[in-house]
Structure 1
């Protein structure tokens, strides 16, 4: 691997998190562009479920990140922000 190329040891976890975030972004975009009240209710329910799923994925312990480096790395800070955001969404929409 070249010097600047970095692959995570737990890329499956990262892909799951990215997929959950993308799902939330898509649902949020759809919610912003719809005017039908029934569709808005369904999208809000789907968004709440997706937020809860993201919170559970983000709270799961990562396999390859050492405990002492988890909060100091960019990945650790991003994971913590994802957990906080997902919990906020779940509390607000759930």
Structure 2
């Protein structure tokens, strides 16, 4: 299993870039490789809350992977934690 934890930018379907922190890992189940994890945006907006599919996650050094939001959980009054499922090769 490979992991990444650190700064990242979520690129929304409309092209908006959202900075935050990501915690990602690869997983292998029954010969199927995949990756996913969580993303905590620095700031919250309606556009972020409604994000679902057609997104990209950009890591440092221009590494980019396609992701979909599988869930959103409220952490504090001003923070949310987004669960992500990666598509294609992991960018880390």
TM-score of Structure 1 vs Structure 2, range by shorter chain: under 0.3
Q: Whose Rg is larger?
A: 1
TM-score, length-scaled by structure 2 = 0.23
TM-score, length-scaled by structure 1 = 0.23
Greater per-residue strand proportion: 2
Higher relative contact order (CA 8 A, sep 6+): 1
Greater per-residue helix proportion: 1
